[in-house]
A = this chain, B = another copy of it.
């Protein structure tokens, strides 16, 4: 397979440090977190504002890449599903996709409400939510 080099553009700072205690989705009680970007990303961040709804893409560096099917939510009583129809962190490219709202910005530090990513997780991209594409929660 062809491969490409994905760079860390920032890191998650969060009180979540343990995979076992991390909520599976942000609406299941995830805490506030800071997205701390590399200094060279300042120009790329310049138009973000508190209140913006964003998608944070992370590299789930503690996930397994050789897992192709899983029991949904780890429940072994449920039949296995192919990982590409689940949000399991274990997948060929362990990219996490998190919807979040910006609550504060301090230079290259961006605070978000309820992010279900572990402390130290590398950030690889950030995108605005497009109206119509992603609706109200």
Contacts and interface: CB of A to CB of B under 8 A. Distances in A.
Q: Could you say which of A61, A68, A84, A136 has the most chain B C-beta atoms within 10 Å of its C-beta?
A: A84
A73 interface: no
A77 interface: no
Interface size class of A (residues with CB under 8 A): 35 or more
Interface string A1-40: 1111111110000000000000001010000000000100
Contact of A4 (B59, B84, B128): B59
Interface in A84-137: 84-87, 91-93, 95, 97, 99, 122, 124-128, 130, 132-137
In the A-B complex, the 3 residue pairs with the smallest Cβ-Cβ separation, listed nearest first, are A135-B135, A43-B68, A47-B85
- Kindly name the residue among A48, A87, A93, A135 whose own CB sees the greatest number of chain B CB atoms within 10 A: A93
A130 B25 contact: yes
B84 A45 contact: yes
Nearest to A8: B2
Contacts of A134: 133-135
Nearest to A72: B47
Nearest to A69: B43
A3 B5 CA distance: 6
Given A44-B84, A47-B81, A91-B125, A1 B5 contact: no
